[in-house]
Amino acid sequence: MSTLSTTNTELSCILKLIFDQPLYDEMTDVLLAFPDRPLEFISLDVQAHMQPLENITEEVSGFKRKKIIEVNTNAGEAKRLYRYIVESLPSSRIEGQLLPLLPLN
């Protein structure tokens, strides 16, 4: 059985960023201006189901519209990228998740 080291900065991973839909344009501008290298990423529309919802429209529809952006990277770069995003958008609520990419063979 193999274990993963959380200190391995070369571990391939996906940085998943979850945020409110109105932040999308600003987020893509920040990602495209990342100084370390040109980034490629995908974005997805999602419906977040949570309690309590923040306004009457969300309560009637039962969900809040959010966006997810996924960036293929490595663990070390993901930390730098997340810091860069938070510093560039300091008043925004952004959830970050780091998912390791494991070999399938």
pLDDT at 17: 97
Residue of 41, 45, 20, 46 whose CA lies nearest to 30: 41
Mean pLDDT of 75-94: 95
User: Is position 79 within any domain?
Assistant: yes
Token pair recorded at residue 61: 């529809």
pTM of the model: 0.77
Which CATH number does the domain housing residue 39 bear?
3.30.70.120
62, 49 in Cβ contact below 8 A? yes
- How many distinct structural domains can be found in the chain? 1
pLDDT score, position 48:
77
* Structure tokens given for 80: 């730098």
CA separation for the pair 83, 87 (Å, rounded): 6
In a domain, 69, yes or no: yes
- 105 occurs within a structural domain: no
CB 78 within 8 Å of CB 8: no
Q: Which domain holds residue 78?
A: 12-92
- Kindly state whether residue 4 falls inside one of the protein's structural domains: no
